[in-house]
Amino acid sequence: MYDEAVLKCFLENQEQLFPERVAETMEEAEDFLEECMAVVAGSPREVWEYFDEQGIDMEDADEEGILSADEVFEVGDGRYLIVEG
């Protein structure tokens, strides 16, 4: 479900959301993301739609603010990983 780029992104940046590492290997990262039901969004618009569907208040937010949320990881290829901690 999660490709190598997504797993690598999470492994390298997981401490932006969690105070300590929750995964050390690609397999642990994949298991953790599956357990959290993490979502891969294909664009900033999809990130916005995800937060809207989840009922998260975005009244005063802009795209930059949404993309800089701790739960949003920029994969680096135009996609975003959303992990609810």
pLDDT of residue 85: 72
User: pTM for this structure?
Assistant: 0.92
pLDDT tens digits, one per residue of 48-73: 999 999 988 878 888 888 999 999 99
What are phi and psi for residue 41, nearest 5 degrees?
Answer: -105, 140
Report d(CA 23, CA 44) in Å as an integer.
26
CA 3 vs CA 19, 23, 25, 46: distances in Å: 24, 16, 14, 18
Query: Over 90: is that where the pLDDT of 34 sits?
Result: yes
pLDDT of residue 28: 98
pLDDT tens digits, one per residue of 9-31: 999 999 999 999 999 999 999 99
